[in-house]
């Protein structure tokens, strides 16, 4: 399954239980992310995985503040809906990831964070 | 706004009148020219007849039809000239009737030329030429349908004329009787007669005036007629079509102008909203003169808002006990709502901290709770990064997650960063984040400089899409450390603009510089 939002491509590989996002996301407002199918795509990926989904962000070069909120809301929603927790893989070389990803386990302590 | 659109409308109306003038006038000018030509030609005809014969040879034509024609055309010319000059208010039908009457008399002339004129040769020539002229005039002055009808009538007339003359008619430059005798003479048993006829035949051949079959003559005329008709038809209709499209084009221009006005209104509304947002965001910022009153600290601060405000926040709040609260934050997203969230943050910040003995972590928890409830009520998803700092007797305690705090010790050459990642979480996102809020502290010695900033400063991009960066910011601080705090802030922001090559920020830029002086 694939999804393209703005300058980013979302690829879900069910066999590897990996959803990787590449590129840059700068949509204005969380509502825009919702309209582009961001939440549906991510939640469907979690539902379709028998094991823990690996959200691979190592190639997501830029994410704006609305995008950070969108990811945060996604984590809060899967927590609320008692879905499988996910693993987030990030890159310590990308500045927004260092500033942002450590917050995800604070939103739900079941989230596993892995920096490469 | 209303006045301007009225002015636009008047100007457009005037423009439409100017553009429509040639459309309305061209038809009239063509008609007047035709009318006057016919009046002159028919008058000359009568005069020549009178001079040549001393009387009018064909009473039906010369005493009824021609005077009637002169009358109709003279009136039409007069009426349309006055219309062109704008000197008459007579009803439209007068113009229509005189137009149709003018053309119908012309068409009757063309028909009469074929069917009444005794000279077959001239009648054919005149008819084919006249028909073409009339197709053009009819098409231009009335419309292409009228031109088509006239083409059909003149074709029928052509064939009737042909039928009347009979297919055996030949076009000679002599009477048919002469032709007949001449042909008999060619076969005459009388040798003398036959020789005379043959001699004539040789002369005819020599002078290239051989008899022409009427069928061939008609065919040629017909081809010419059709060839001439097609361009004339399309030319006439083209003029008509072009003229007709002008009012439609004007309609479109008016529509475009209306749309432009709407767009202008929308732009005015949008820029008003942006102005309001900017105003909201800047109206509650601490004033420069407030900084002067602080003992022991020299403070400089500046916020440059982007065209679409980015929701930056900073606060400097002195307390009765001589301590000072600082706040720095950045609301997610842009626009009016971000400005409103910033305003609420300022209110919650002051309400919670000002002259109360609350500790900063509890204060941050309260601010989070207040903002979460209000933002939920706004049905908005915005939240913010926010750090609270409390300076008291040379120690800064801080809580809340925002950008790093930059510290330039007076004894050091290079600035250092103090991380805030572990001190909190996004404010307003969840109702209770107290589990993730922590406090840390550092000493601020005399001469030390503390710099607070938002990401608008570090993420400012140059033309090669490279960020000014945290290193850029730290180095700028090191370069300007010997200036007063406010000068440091201004110099750093100037450097950022020099780096981006722009005079306005893409995102809000906030920098607060605090130096301990005593």
Span(s) in chain B for CATH 3.60.40.10: 285-516
- On whether any CB of chain A is under 8 Å from the CB of B383, the answer is yes
- On whether any CB of chain A is under 8 Å from the CB of B333, the answer is yes
Q: Do B429 and A72 touch (CB under 8 A)?
A: yes
Q: Which residues of A touch B435 (CB under 8 A)?
A: 106
- Nearest CA-CA distance, residue B404 and chain A, Å: 10
Give me B416's structure tokens: 């250092």
Give me A76's structure tokens: 């809060």
- On whether any CB of chain B is under 8 Å from the CB of A7, the answer is no
Q: Do B425 and A102 touch (CB under 8 A)?
A: no
Q: Do B436 and A69 touch (CB under 8 A)?
A: no
Quote the pLDDT of residue B1: 43
Q: Do B381 and A68 touch (CB under 8 A)?
A: no
- On whether any CB of chain A is under 8 Å from the CB of B381, the answer is yes
SS (H, E, C) B244-277: HHHHHHHHHHHHHHHHHHHHHHHHHHHHHHHHHH
Quote the pLDDT of residue B207: 58
SS (H, E, C) B195-210: HHHHHHHHHHHHHCCC
Angle at Cα B256 formed by Cα B251 and Cα B261, nearest 5°? 125
Query: Does the B285-516 domain belong in CATH 3.60.40.10?
Result: yes
- Nearest CA-CA distance, residue A107 and chain B, Å: 8
Quote the pLDDT of residue B294: 77
Q: Do A65 and B330 touch (CB under 8 A)?
A: yes
Element at B407 (helix H, strand E): strand B405-408
Per CATH, the number for A2-115 is: 3.30.750.24
Q: Which of A65, A72, A73 sits opposite B333 (nearest CB)?
A: A65
Q: Which residues of A touch B425 (CB under 8 A)?
A: 103, 106-107
Pick from B511, B482, B507: nearest CA to B495: B511
- pLDDT (tens place) for every residue of chain B, 518 residues total: 445 555 556 666 676 666 666 666 777 887 888 888 888 888 888 888 888 877 777 777 778 888 888 999 999 999 988 888 878 777 888 888 988 998 888 888 777 777 766 556 556 666 667 777 788 778 877 877 888 898 898 888 878 877 777 776 666 567 778 878 888 888 888 888 888 888 888 876 665 555 666 776 676 566 656 655 655 555 555 666 676 777 778 788 888 888 899 989 888 888 887 788 888 888 889 987 877 767 889 999 999 998 788 889 999 999 988 899 999 999 998 888 888 899 999 999 999 999 888 999 999 999 999 999 999 998 888 999 999 999 999 999 999 999 999 999 999 999 999 999 999 999 999 999 999 999 999 999 999 999 999 999 999 999 998 999 999 999 999 999 999 999 999 999 999 999 999 888 888 999 999 999 98
Q: Do A73 and B334 touch (CB under 8 A)?
A: no
How many Å apart are CA B454 and CA B473, to the nearest integer?
11
Q: Which of A31, A73, A106 sits opposite B436 (nearest CB)?
A: A106
- On whether any CB of chain B is under 8 Å from the CB of A73, the answer is yes
Do the beta carbons of residue B456 and residue B310 sit within 8 Å? yes
Q: Which of A29, A99, A103 sits opposite B425 (nearest CB)?
A: A103
How many Å apart are CA B12 and CA B176, to the nearest integer?
69
Closest chain B CA to residue A99: B421
When scoring B274, B306, B376, B383 by the number of chain A Cβ atoms within 10 A, the one with the most, hence best to mutate, is: B383
How many Å apart are CA B76 and CA B98, to the nearest integer?
5
Sheet with B297-304: strands ordered across: B297-304, B509-516, B449-453, B405-408, B416-418
- Please report, for chain A, the start and end positions of each structural domain, with discontinuous segments joined by +: 2-115
Half-sphere exposure of A104 (CA within 13 A, CB side): 27
- Nearest CA-CA distance, residue A65 and chain B, Å: 5
Q: Which residues of A touch B401 (CB under 8 A)?
A: 103
Q: Do A103 and B382 touch (CB under 8 A)?
A: no
Give me B322's structure tokens: 């001589």
Across-strand partners of B397?
Answer: B390, B441
Q: How many Cβ pairs closer than 8 A exist between chain A and B?
A: 43
Quote the pLDDT of residue B95: 86
Contacts 24+ apart (CB under 8 A), B262-270: B265/B1, B268/B1
- On whether any CB of chain A is under 8 Å from the CB of B386, the answer is no
How many Å apart are CA A15 and CA B14, to the nearest integer?
72
Q: Which of A28, A29, A72 sits opposite B426 (nearest CB)?
A: A72
- On whether any CB of chain A is under 8 Å from the CB of B433, the answer is yes
- On whether any CB of chain A is under 8 Å from the CB of B401, the answer is yes
CB atoms within 10 A of CB B74: 15
Q: What is the pLDDT of residues A38-52, one digit of tens each?
A: 999 999 999 998 889
Q: What is the ipTM of this complex?
A: 0.91
Q: Do A107 and B383 touch (CB under 8 A)?
A: no
Q: Which of B332, B401, B430 sits opposite A65 (nearest CB)?
A: B332
CB proximity list for B165: less than 8 A, separation 6 or greater: B120, B214
Q: Which residues of B touch A68 (CB under 8 A)?
A: 332, 426
Instruction: Fill in the DSSP letter of residue B379.
Output: T
- On whether any CB of chain B is under 8 Å from the CB of A76, the answer is yes
How many Å apart are CA B213 and CA B216, to the nearest integer?
5
Q: Which residues of A touch B400 (CB under 8 A)?
A: none
CB proximity list for B192: less than 8 A, separation 6 or greater: none
- On whether any CB of chain B is under 8 Å from the CB of A107, the answer is yes
Quote the pLDDT of residue B229: 63
For chain A, what is the total number of helices (H) and then of strands (E)? 5, 6
Q: Which residues of A touch B334 (CB under 8 A)?
A: 28
Give me B165's structure tokens: 């003359």
Q: Do B429 and A30 touch (CB under 8 A)?
A: no
How many Å apart are CA A69 and CA A30, to the nearest integer?
7
Span A58-63, average pLDDT = 93
Q: Which of B421, B429, B433 sits opposite A102 (nearest CB)?
A: B421
Q: Which of B330, B334, B430 sits opposite A76 (nearest CB)?
A: B430
Closest chain B CA to residue A65: B332
Q: Do B383 and A102 touch (CB under 8 A)?
A: no
Name the burial class of residue B440, with classes exposed (0-12), middle (13-18) and buried (19+) by CB atoms within 10 angstroms of its CB: middle
pLDDT-above-70 percentage for chain A: 100
Write down the H helix ranges in chain A.
Answer: 30-35, 38-47, 65-80, 95-100, 104-107
Give me B417's structure tokens: 């960063």
Q: Which of B332, B422, B436 sits opposite A69 (nearest CB)?
A: B332
Pick from A110, A102, A14, A106: nearest CA to A57: A102
Q: Do A103 and B426 touch (CB under 8 A)?
A: yes
CB proximity list for B324: less than 8 A, separation 6 or greater: B294, B297, B316, B317, B318, B390, B391, B392
């Amino acid at each position: 399954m694939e999804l393209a939002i703005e300058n980013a491509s979302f690829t879900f590989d069910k066999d590897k239980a990996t959803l990787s996002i590449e590129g840059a996301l700068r949509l204005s407002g969380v509502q825009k992310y919702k309209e582009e199918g961001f939440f549906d795509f991510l939640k469907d990926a979690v539902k379709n995985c028998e094991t823990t989904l690996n959200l691979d962000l190592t190639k997501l070069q830029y994410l704006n503040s609305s995008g950070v909120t969108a990811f945060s809301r996604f984590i809060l929603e899967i927590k609320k809906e008692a879905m499988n927790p996910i693993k987030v893989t990030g890159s310590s070389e990308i500045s927004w990831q260092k500033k942002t990803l450590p917050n995800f386990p604070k939103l739900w302590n079941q989230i596993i964070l892995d920096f490469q | 706004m209303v006045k301007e659109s009225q002015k636009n409308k008047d100007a457009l109306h005037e423009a439409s009148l100017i553009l429509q003038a040639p459309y309305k006038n061209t038809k009239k000018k063509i008609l007047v020219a035709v009318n006057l030509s016919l009046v002159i030609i028919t008058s000359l005809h009568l005069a020549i007849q009178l001079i040549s014969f001393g009387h009018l040879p064909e009473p039906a034509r010369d005493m009824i039809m021609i005077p009637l024609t002169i009358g109709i055309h003279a009136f039409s010319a007069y009426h349309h000239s006055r219309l062109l000059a704008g000197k008459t208010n007579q009803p439209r039908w007068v113009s229509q009737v005189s137009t149709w009457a003018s053309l119908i008399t012309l068409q009757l002339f063309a028909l009469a030329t074929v069917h009444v004129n005794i000279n077959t040769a001239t009648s054919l020539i005149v008819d084919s030429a006249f028909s073409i002229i009339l197709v053009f005039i009819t098409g231009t002055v009335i419309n292409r349908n009228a031109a088509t009808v006239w083409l059909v009538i003149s074709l029928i007339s052509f064939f009737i004329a042909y039928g009347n003359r009979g297919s055996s008619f030949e076009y000679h430059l002599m009477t048919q009787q002469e032709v007949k005798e001449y042909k008999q003479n060619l076969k005459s048993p009388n040798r003398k007669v036959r020789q005379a006829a043959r001699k004539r035949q040789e002369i005819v051949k020599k002078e290239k005036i051989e008899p022409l079959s009427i069928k061939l003559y008609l065919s040629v005329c017909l081809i010419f007629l059709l060839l001439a008709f097609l361009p004339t038809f399309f030319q006439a209709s083209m003029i008509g079509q072009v003229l007709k499209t002008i009012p439609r084009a004007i309609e479109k221009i008016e529509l475009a102008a209306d749309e432009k006005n709407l767009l202008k209104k929308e732009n005015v509304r949008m820029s008003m909203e942006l102005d309001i947002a900017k105003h909201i965001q800047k109206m509650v910022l601490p004033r420069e003169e407030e900084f002067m009153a602080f003992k022991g600290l020299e403070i400089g601060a500046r916020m440059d808002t982007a065209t679409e405000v980015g929701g930056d926040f900073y606060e400097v709040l002195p307390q009765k006990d001589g301590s000072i609260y600082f706040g720095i934050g950045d609301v997610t997203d842009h626009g009016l709502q971000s400005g409103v969230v910033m305003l609420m943050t300022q209110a919650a910040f002051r309400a919670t901290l000002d002259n109360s003995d609350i500790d900063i972590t509890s204060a941050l928890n309260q601010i989070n709770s207040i903002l979460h409830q209000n933002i939920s009520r706004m049905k908005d998803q915005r939240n913010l990064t926010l750090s609270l700092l409390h300076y008291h007797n040379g120690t800064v305690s801080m809580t809340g997650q925002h950008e790093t705090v930059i510290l330039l010790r007076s004894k050091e050459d290079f600035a250092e960063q103090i991380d805030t990642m572990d001190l909190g979480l996004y404010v307003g996102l969840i109702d209770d984040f107290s589990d993730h809020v922590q406090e840390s502290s550092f000493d601020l010695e005399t001469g030390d400089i503390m710099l607070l900033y938002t990401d608008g400063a570090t993420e400012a991009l140059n033309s090669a899409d490279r960020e000014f960066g945290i290193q850029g910011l730290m180095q700028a601080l090191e370069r300007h450390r010997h200036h007063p705090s406010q000068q440091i802030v201004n110099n750093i922001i100037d450097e950022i603009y020099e780096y981006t090559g722009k005079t306005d920020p893409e995102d809000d830029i906030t920098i607060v510089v605090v130096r301990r002086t005593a």
